[in-house]
Amino acid sequence: MPTVLQISDMHLLAEPGAQLLDTDTAQTLEAVLKQALAQRCPDLLLATGDLAHDCGAPGYERFVRLVRRHYDGPVVALPGNHDLGDALRAVFSAADVTAPAPHCASVAVGHWELLAIDSHRDGEPGGQLDEALLAALRARVAAATGPLLLALHHPLVPVGAPWLDKDCPANGASLLEWLAKQPALRAVVYGHVHQQVERMVGDCAVLGTPSTCFQFAPHSARFALDARPPGWRWLFLDEQGDRLRTQVDRLQ
């Protein structure tokens, strides 16, 4: 059964030992990688944005070094609102890491297809889905010959935390409504919200994933941290029935 390990919102800093909100984000990412990869080796590692925290190329270089210290398989990484798209793609293209260029990347995982789209704009907290991106996505979905998994950084619809919900793309709800009607699509996975979110829209699972560093308090009106530890999501892709099974694990 093909397996995807999703990690998100690493917020890596340029300097070793530097901390963000009293957290050494490189240290927590390495701890997540060690524990998750001790469970099993995935067919693909998916990183859904905010890889670096406003530091550009040095953060992406740290990401590559940390990941490759523990995992030598395929990696797909997409930018979040703290990322710089050109710097991210430049570092990752030289490191054999797949990133949307610029709108949509497609990667096979068994007979499934992962579509990774870029919902970020440099310097903007909110998600944006322009017409060129939507056209590329529709074309990929129309051409699908097997089950699809869609990944992006921003949630398409609110998660019940007003200070985060303002960052949903303005056309996210209409896109999700269209996606849920596509028979090939099994799930949409995202980051940004630093918490576990799981819902169904029709037959499509819509899944938010914890951060590898600090967590945000669910249903909070304003910025607030949660005591839950760093986490990650496993996606198990059934080869026979085309069903998806998922679970979230956290650091011990």
At 51-89, the pLDDT tens digits run 999 999 999 999 999 999 999 999 999 999 999 999 999
Put simply, whether the predicted model's pTM sits higher than 0.95 gets the answer yes
| Rounded mean pLDDT, 204-221 | 98
Query: Cα separation of 47 and 223, whole Å?
Result: 23
Query: Cα dist. 33→7, 97, 112 in Å?
Result: 9, 17, 24
| Rounded mean pLDDT, 87-98 | 96
For residue 59, which of 33, 80, 75 has the smallest C-alpha distance? 80
The answer to whether residue 239 scores a pLDDT higher than 90 is no
The answer to whether residue 158 scores a pLDDT higher than 80 is yes
pLDDT digit string (tens) for 106-156?
A: 999 999 999 999 999 999 999 999 999 999 999 999 999 999 999 999 999
Question: 160-167 long-range CB contacts below 8 Å, 24 or more apart?
Answer: 160/218, 160/219, 161/193, 161/216, 161/217, 161/218, 161/219, 161/220, 161/221, 162/221, 162/222, 163/220, 163/221, 163/222, 163/223, 164/192, 164/193, 164/216, 166/126, 167/81, 167/125, 167/126, 167/127, 167/192
Burial class (CB in 10 A: 0-12, 13-18, 19+), 201: middle
Query: Cα separation of 176 and 179, whole Å?
Result: 5
Answer whether 232's CB lies under 8 Å from 212's CB: yes
Query: Cα separation of 155 and 5, whole Å?
Result: 19
